[in-house]
Structure 1
Amino acid sequence: MNTDRILARYLVETPLDPARVAEVMAGEQSCGTFARVAGETDALRKRARATVQGITTLATTSAPSLPNAWLTRHAPSGPWHQVQIDIAYPVANIGANLPTLVATVAGNLYDLGEVTGMRLETLQLPADYRTQFELPAVGITGTRRITGVDQGALVGTIIKPNVGLSPQQTAELVRTLCEAGVDFIKDDEVCANPVHAPLAERVPAIMAVVRAHQERTGKHVMVAFNISDETDAMKRHADLVAREGGSCVMASINWCGYSAMQTLRRHTPLALHAHRNGFGALSRHPGLGIGFQAYQTLWRLAGVDHMHVHGLQGKFAQADEEVVQSARDCFTPLISGLDDRVLPAFSSGQWAGTVPATWDAIASDDLLFMSGGGILAHPDGPAAGVMSLRQAWQAARSGTPLADFARLAPELCRALTFFGQ
């Protein structure tokens, strides 16, 4: 691709001429506005204007997907054209500035009156542009090294109940989970620094348990403490986790923002667990928002190490095909020759019974398989829940049906009977 241009692909719906709309998009997001101004010389346009690289017709409809007051005033008769538009943006307009990159490829485009659908699907970056941004500090390889999991999927879980536990109650639950054999534990996204369990008390209480477990067994359990907050507070929280011997912090990335995550990445070597809660608001409508490939590209420029992708056959709205493609996006380097892959985190209604579908679709165990109820609600306790997951992964990797494997695996057998109902 062009080494001085960023290529963005959009899905667009409009009743107008798609070629005209594409030019409006290119002008609006670079050097133009609704009318050419005096300073917009041909030389400036050649240097600074975004350019339309391609337009592909996908379908036509008889009605708009989304309301639009501007078009209502103009009363177009349709049909509405659904098209794919590729636009190349000059790197020089943006520089190594992540918020401005986002404002360029995903800014006022959503408000254009000419469209009744606008979705940023993919982003491709020049190699020398990508290298100006943060890389994962830990990534897949580092997460395996820290947790001591050389092969196989990393098995994780979530603190449940989500909120309400005291620091000591949370620490006791962590003790149980460490003894149960998990590799990874994370806070829920709604539990960051609550009055009943502030991080200043919760982190030391939990890490005392984690350190004792490591001293006794040699196993470090990675705990992702939710430090979502304003930027300076997140830096202080990360320092506390590091002082206590922790290895990971979590943030609700959509609400903390790109700049905060860049600052946090530059401040701490801890693994950054990127929780995407709220992504559904940005992605669920097929004609609006942002696709995961573009979304995770932008967040990887902030240097995160883990990215949530939801789970197969889970409790959320995403189709399995979307979950699988999201994981593959995390596995794909943004540019050739650079290992900036991030660890995909599977969650939402995951248990032993969803393992075969995950293995069959991904064909890799470079992933974090998180199961809350599938571990904590196992009828024989959390240790049996963890064991049932490991048995399910062993069965899936060997190509053995779970029911057959379960004949000699009581924990898996109980999970299939209990959760399968």
Structure 2
Amino acid sequence: MIADRFEATYLIETPLAPAHVAEVMAGEQSCGTFTRVEGETDALRERARATVEAIDELESVAAPSLPNALLERQGRSGPWRRARVRISFPVANVGANLPTLAATVAGNLYDLGEVSGLRLESLQIPASYRAQFDLPQVGIAGTRQRTGVTSGAMVGTILKPNVGFSPAQTAELVTRLCAAGVDFIKDDEVCADPAHAPLAQRVPAVMAAVREHQQRTGKHVMVAFNITDETDAMKRHADLIEREGGSCVMASLNWCGYSALQTLRRHTGLALHGHRNGYGALSRQPLLGISFQAYQTLWRLAGVDHMHVHGLQGKFSQSDEEVIASAQDCYTPLADAIDDRVLPAFSSGQWAGTVPATWAAVQSDDLLFMSGGGILAHPGGPAAGVASIRQAWAAAREGAALADYARSAPELAAALAFFGK
């Protein structure tokens, strides 16, 4: 990759010639518009214009994927041609400006009248450009160090009920979950600073339980407090968590925005747990939005330490193939010679029975395996739920079938009987 340019790859659909549309995209997102304007000299275009690097035409389809009033007014009809387009942009156009980088690779392109579908699939950046942005401060190794989990998957859970508990009730649940043996506990994305359990009261109550457990056992349980809010409030919440001995904060990425996450990253050394709720609105239509590789690239430039990837055989719409690819994206450095890997968080309908597929897919323990109902709803209680997941990981690593392993693992046997229905 050229050191002074970054590259974005798109999937487009259009009734026009894909080469023409690619040139429109390159001009629109750099120095041009729909026609050359005064002052747009050849020298300026040479310096600042984006360049079409490759066009790979794919199959055509009979109907457009998305409505387009301009094409309808023009009376355009099919075939609707699809193509994969790779465009490079001068780094100097953007600089170390994350919101503008996002606007460049994923801004007005979605509104172009020439397309009936457009999706940002991937984003590649040179090492010199990566170095201008924040790195994760905790990442995989730091999360292991802070939780004391030197080997094996890190087992986490989500506080349920999502909302309604008082600070004292939340702390009591955290006490039970710490005793159950979890490594990680997180708030739900819809519970941030509610009136019935404000962070100013909930954080001290929960951290008192965490500290007591740590003093008694030597084990620090990482709690990801949801501090999603406006920027100054998030900084105050992070300071409170740090004073109370906490190690992690969580933010709803799509609703806080790049600037807020960058500010938070530079303000605190706590682990940043990136929750992607709302990502489905950006990704579920195959010819619209943004694929996870490009999505997580932008958020990793903001300095997050953990990224949600959903879970295998889970309750959400993503295919297992998409979840696996997302985890591999988290494990892949964004540029050569820079270790900026982040910890993938597997969540959504996870329990002991989904462990074998997870292990087979990633062949790695460097993940957060988060289970809400799979732990809290286990018929033997939370401790049995945690045990069933650890037993499932042991079985998967040994290559043993869960049913066979469960003959000498009663917690796993109970999980298979209860959740397997």
What TM-score bracket applies, with the shorter chain setting the length? over 0.9
What value does the CA root-mean-square deviation take over the aligned residues?
0.4
C-alpha separation in 1, matches of 2:58 and 2:8: 17
Match of 1:66 in 2: 66
Match of 1:170 in 2: 170
Matched, 1:285 2:285: yes
Cα shift readout 1:6-53 (whole Å, capped 9, x = no counterpart)? 100000000001000000000000000111001000000000000000
User: Does the residue aligned with 1:315 lie in a helix, a strand or coil?
Assistant: coil
Match of 2:28 in 1: 28
C-alpha separation in 2, matches of 1:336 and 1:385: 40
Match of 1:195 in 2: 195
Match of 1:213 in 2: 213
Identical columns (%):
77
Match of 2:300 in 1: 300
User: Does the residue aligned with 1:232 lie in a helix, a strand or coil?
Assistant: helix
User: Which letter does structure 1 place at the counterpart of 2:217?
Assistant: T
Match of 1:184 in 2: 184
Match of 1:3 in 2: 3
Matched, 1:136 2:128: no
Shift of 1:296: 0.2
Q: Do 2:127 and 2:338's aligned partners in 1 also have CA atoms closer than 8 Å?
A: no
User: Does the residue aligned with 1:360 lie in a helix, a strand or coil?
Assistant: helix
C-alpha separation in 2, matches of 1:278 and 1:316: 12
Match of 1:405 in 2: 405
Shift of 1:133: 0.3
Q: Do 2:127 and 2:337's aligned partners in 1 also have CA atoms closer than 8 Å?
A: no
Shift of 1:77: 2.1
C-alpha separation in 2, matches of 1:288 and 1:170: 40
Matched, 1:40 2:40: yes
User: Does the residue aligned with 1:165 lie in a helix, a strand or coil?
Assistant: coil
User: Which letter does structure 2 place at the counterpart of 1:204?
Assistant: P
Cα shift readout 1:317-343 (whole Å, capped 9, x = no counterpart)? 000000000000000000122110000
Matches within 5 A, 1:4-153: 4-153=4-153
C-alpha separation in 2, matches of 1:323 and 1:21: 31
Match of 1:375 in 2: 375
C-alpha separation in 1, matches of 2:58 and 2:388: 45
Match of 1:329 in 2: 329
C-alpha separation in 2, matches of 1:75 and 1:49: 31
C-alpha separation in 1, matches of 2:360 and 2:236: 42
Shift of 1:57: 1.0
User: Does the residue aligned with 1:134 lie in a helix, a strand or coil?
Assistant: coil
C-alpha separation in 2, matches of 1:357 and 1:337: 31
User: Does the residue aligned with 2:204 lie in a helix, a strand or coil?
Assistant: helix
User: Does the residue aligned with 1:274 lie in a helix, a strand or coil?
Assistant: strand
Matched, 1:343 2:343: yes
**Structure 2 unaligned regions, length at least 5:** none
C-alpha separation in 2, matches of 1:58 and 1:163: 47
User: Does the residue aligned with 2:196 lie in a helix, a strand or coil?
Assistant: coil
User: Which letter does structure 2 place at the counterpart of 1:194?
Assistant: P
C-alpha separation in 2, matches of 1:83 and 1:364: 35
User: Does the residue aligned with 1:160 lie in a helix, a strand or coil?
Assistant: coil
Match of 1:359 in 2: 359
C-alpha separation in 2, matches of 1:24 and 1:360: 43
User: Which letter does structure 1 place at the counterpart of 2:96?
Assistant: A
Runs of 4+ in 1 over 4 A off after TM superposition: none
Aligned residues: 421
Q: What TM-score do the two structures reach when normalised by structure 1? A: 1.00
C-alpha separation in 2, matches of 1:153 and 1:75: 56
Cα shift readout 1:237-287 (whole Å, capped 9, x = no counterpart)? 000000000000000000000000000000000000000000000000000
C-alpha separation in 1, matches of 2:128 and 2:318: 34
User: Does the residue aligned with 1:225 lie in a helix, a strand or coil?
Assistant: strand
